[in-house]
Structure 1
């Protein structure tokens, strides 16, 4: 099986493992727990794309943008980037949100601009919460800001969409089952997010489904007797 991402000879060094990068907070940091969406995506894309989650617990979009340059992300080989922030931005402390909604919108747009125009971008809005964990949150304005950021970036660079996790969790028959502690998603909640991501890719960029991507490194039957 020929792969365009493989080196053509043993002397040629090529970074052919392309990536799906996720930028997020603790919801992403916990995404490799059993049933987590990062684990599901890694399984979905095994030997097709490397799934590289950067989940930084407690971070707002402001913090993420501030420290982005410290992350060893191979930007040029990122095929898909998912930006899932806003849960901490929307925390209300001393009567105001940690990161104002307009700043949040500009921050996630700036994070998207860090990647090549050829990378597909998916913004994910904050979900609802079913319990107060440390602070109250006012997510609704950040959901609208996520949508607007996606529309503006799609107009600016193209290939940008969004996922409304707020509606996906709010209108579930039993929202409490979607969370492990009222804020962080349970396996059931993560599965909803995973299915939404796959649905977006299937609809907008079917060429990036695993079945259309080359397998990384030769299939074992090609090398068994070599």
Structure 2
């Protein structure tokens, strides 16, 4: 059997990842699919409402095992959690900070540990911090529900979870995208000004995704230049490079039919 055509860039996270292709938002998933077209398949594995506790068993099932043959290689893995873990009690989405750290490390270890069934030393791992929360807008939105709900997140608590993601990435020697700081600085360090980047106080709008995408691409270019889209050749050649007299020499991977 021939080798798989495209390797994979997988996005794993909560609703902010799930919405990466939402129409009208110019989301980062949509843009990644465009720039990695014919180079890597970008997979959306975002699960609305999930925290790392619920994400762990799903994550394991999303990964191929090292023993699996003829499966696409996971070239880039972006993990983006924390927005729901940082909920405050009594929210069922709340995950204590120490447990959140443990869960993220376990996800990373599934890829990095030689004893893992999913060990993939060539996978480039990126951890992404949760964005800041606009408690003014979030609180107003929850208060308008039927029945009204109390504010479920706090600004400084979300900041602590974002800093924890940064620390994990540093300890593990993997790339980190600091969405929290990028959006906070874009808003002039003014919580109410975050409305320009967070449509409902929590989820990114088109402006927010634009900031996030730019940070992600800068990080890939700096930390993992070998998998930046400009440095990956297309799986199949541009049409002008095809051997027109003997196209099979150009168009069968591994020259299976040459």
- Shorter-chain TM range is 0.7 to 0.9
Q: Which runs of 5+ in 1 are unaligned?
A: 1-11, 155-159
Corresponding residue of 1:175 = 194
Q: Which runs of 5+ in 2 are unaligned?
A: 67-72, 112-119, 143-151, 188-192, 248-258
Corresponding residue of 1:31 = 20
Decide whether the 8 Å contact of 2:49 with 2:93 is kept in 1. no
Decide whether the 8 Å contact of 1:75 with 1:114 is kept in 2. no
> Mean alpha-carbon deviation: is it higher for 126-135 or for 179-188?
126-135
Corresponding residue of 1:161 = 175
Please list the CA deviations of residues 5-31 of structure 1 after superposition, one character each: whole Å capped at 9, or x if unmatched. xxxxxxx51024111111110001111
Deviation at 1:206, TM superposition (A): 1.5
- Distance between the aligned counterparts of 2:180 and 2:42, measured in 1? 24
* 1:191/1:208 CA distance change after superposition, 3 Å: same
Corresponding residue of 2:221 = 202
The within-5 A match list for 1:103-114 is: 103-114=99-110
Question: TM-score normalized by structure 1?
Answer: 0.85
The within-5 A match list for 1:128-147 is: 128-130=132-134, 131-132=137-138, 134=142, 135-137=152-154, 138-147=157-166
SS of the residue aligned with 1:62?
Answer: helix
After superposition, the CA RMSD in angstroms is 2.1
Deviation at 1:95, TM superposition (A): 8.2
The reply to whether residue 78 of structure 1 matches residue 74 of structure 2 is yes
Aligned residues, how many? 209
Corresponding residue of 1:15 = 4
Corresponding residue of 2:84 = 88
Corresponding residue of 1:8 = none
Deviation at 1:48, TM superposition (A): 0.9
> Mean alpha-carbon deviation: is it higher for 48-57 or for 75-84?
75-84
Deviation at 1:211, TM superposition (A): 2.2
Decide whether the 8 Å contact of 1:58 with 1:88 is kept in 2. yes
The reply to whether residue 62 of structure 1 matches residue 53 of structure 2 is yes
> Mean alpha-carbon deviation: is it higher for 140-149 or for 108-117?
108-117
Please list the CA deviations of residues 151-187 of structure 1 after superposition, one character each: whole Å capped at 9, or x if unmatched. 1211xxxxx1212211111222342110121111011
Bigger relative CO (Cα 8 Å, ≥ 6 apart): 1
Please list the CA deviations of residues 67-97 of structure 1 after superposition, one character each: whole Å capped at 9, or x if unmatched. 22333x4476111111100000001122897
* 1:16/1:139 CA distance change after superposition, 3 Å: same
Corresponding residue of 2:96 = 100
